[in-house]
Amino acid sequence: MDLLAEINRGVPPIGLGAFMRAQYVDGPWEWVAIVGNNANYHDVVNHARAAGKKIWLYSMPGSFAPTVWRDGLSTLIARASEVSAEGIIVDPETGWDGHWDQIAAFGAALQDASTVTRVGITSYPAWAGMPALANAGGDACFGIPQLYGQQGAFSQGEIDGQWARWRSSFGTRLIPGFALWIPEDHPELRDPAVYAAYLTRLPRAGGSIGWTTGAIPVHMLQAMRGYSPGGNMLFTIGLGTLAWIGRPAGAITIGIGIALLVMVILFAREVRHA
């Protein structure tokens, strides 16, 4: 694994992202996560790349059920390599009851995957397997709790509670997932004012990613033009840097940089006094 890959290992992307399914929808995103097991994923990748977006690949929860996750993961890694993606996002959700003994193997496989690509883990906020999978994956993975207003994460208290739960496992290697469509549980998000208030309840982070099932409602797309994951560009970059520093490789890199700077200063002083 090269130095850059090791530095970025387990670090979430910085800036606003969006999940894409069968088509690319343009917007103010800096990166997109495209469903990598759709028949036309190449077309979606090409459209997003032509728009200047960084590419990630993602697969739906069915690819990460206990009986198929090995095939789902290997396919996603291969396709990410094929399209030179920045990384992959896995989404284990259903079918795990009675199969928790596989979590350790799944986490170890994600650690292995992180040696060739960056790896994120997303799921609904209360998924019971999250702490064990995060522990098994170590600092090789970052987390994306789906704060979509489903599974008990819509009010400020619910969002804060689930964010704290995930943060206890991932630390600063965490970004929120949010709604870019109208969930059946919360049709009130059709109201632009309600949606704007929902965005203010999201945790501040170095990045975030919106989930869309296709076309994005106009009021949501308009809201994205004034939304920043960290509150503003400076805070977004700062919070993203904290996630990077939190990894050993990031801290070591900063230490090396400081040491080199000190050496340059000392050398300059010696030359000046020679």
CATH number at residue 220: 3.20.20.80
What pLDDT shows up at residue 255? 43
In three-state secondary structure terms, 19 is: strand
Range 104-115 average pLDDT? 96
Structure tokens at 170: 């991932």
Is residue 265 in some structural domain?
no
Q: Is the distance from CB of 143 to CB of 173 less than 8 angstroms?
A: yes
Is residue 264 in some structural domain?
no
Is residue 269 in some structural domain?
no
What pLDDT shows up at residue 257? 42
Is residue 28 in some structural domain?
yes
> Is residue 261 pLDDT above 50, yes or no?
no
State the Rg of the chain over Cα.
Answer: 20
What pLDDT shows up at residue 258? 41
Is residue 108 in some structural domain?
yes
Q: Is the distance from CB of 149 to CB of 183 less than 8 angstroms?
A: yes
What pLDDT shows up at residue 8? 83
Return the percent helix, strand and coil in the chain, to nearest 5: 50, 15, 35
Q: What is the pTM of this model?
A: 0.87
What pLDDT shows up at residue 235? 64
Q: Is the distance from CB of 110 to CB of 119 less than 8 angstroms?
A: yes
Residue 236's domain spans which residues?
A: 3-247
Q: What percent of the chain has pLDDT over 70?
A: 85
Distance CA 52, CA 31 (A): 9
Q: Where are the beta strands (DSSP E) in 38-190?
A: 54-58, 87-90, 118-123, 141-145, 177-179
Q: What are the tens digits of pLDDT across the range 167-186?
A: 999 999 999 999 999 988 89
Number of domains in the chain: 1
Is residue 23 in some structural domain?
yes
Residue 130: how many other CB atoms lie within 10 Å: 23
38 pLDDT band, cuts 50/70/90, is confident
Is residue 30 in some structural domain?
yes
What pLDDT shows up at residue 2? 53
By the 10 Å C-beta count (0-12 exposed, 13-18 middle, 19+ buried), 244 is classed as buried
Is residue 259 in some structural domain?
no
Distance CA 133, CA 136 (A): 5
